[in-house]
Amino acid sequence: MAGKDKIQGEGDYEAARRFRKAEEAFVRTGPVEQKAQEAEQALDGPEAAELERARRETGAKGAP
């Protein structure tokens, strides 16, 4: 059997490390402000109702 660091599925530690590194890099160097503005525009645009429905269905926290 593979080592403990090779657990797959929801316990895939290597995938979690890669994801965390990519997220950290995006926050440091990515277009965070641009993405925030795009999200705000989407919430004010034609897809607002669909986004609100998705937020409610997933139980995501956010603006009421």
Q: Do residue 18 and residue 35 come from a single domain?
A: no
CB neighbour burial string for 27-44, b if at least 16 within 10 angstroms, e if fewer: eeeeeeeeeeeeeeeeee
- Other Cβ atoms within 10 Å of 51 Cβ, number: 15
Domain containing residue 37 = 31-64
Residue 59's pLDDT is 82
Residue 49's pLDDT is 94
CB neighbour burial string for 4-24, b if at least 16 within 10 angstroms, e if fewer: eeeeeeeeeeeeeeeeeeeee
Using the Cα atoms of residue 16, residue 43, residue 56 and residue 61 in order, give the sign of their dihedral. Answer: positive
Q: Do residue 25 and residue 43 come from a single domain?
A: no
Q: Do residue 18 and residue 40 come from a single domain?
A: no
Q: Do residue 37 and residue 63 come from a single domain?
A: yes
Structurally, the chain folds into a number of domains equal to: 2
Tens of pLDDT, residue by residue over 1-59, are 445 556 666 678 888 899 999 999 998 998 989 999 999 999 999 999 999 999 889 88
- Tokens encoding 8: 């797959």
Q: Do residue 35 and residue 25 come from a single domain?
A: no
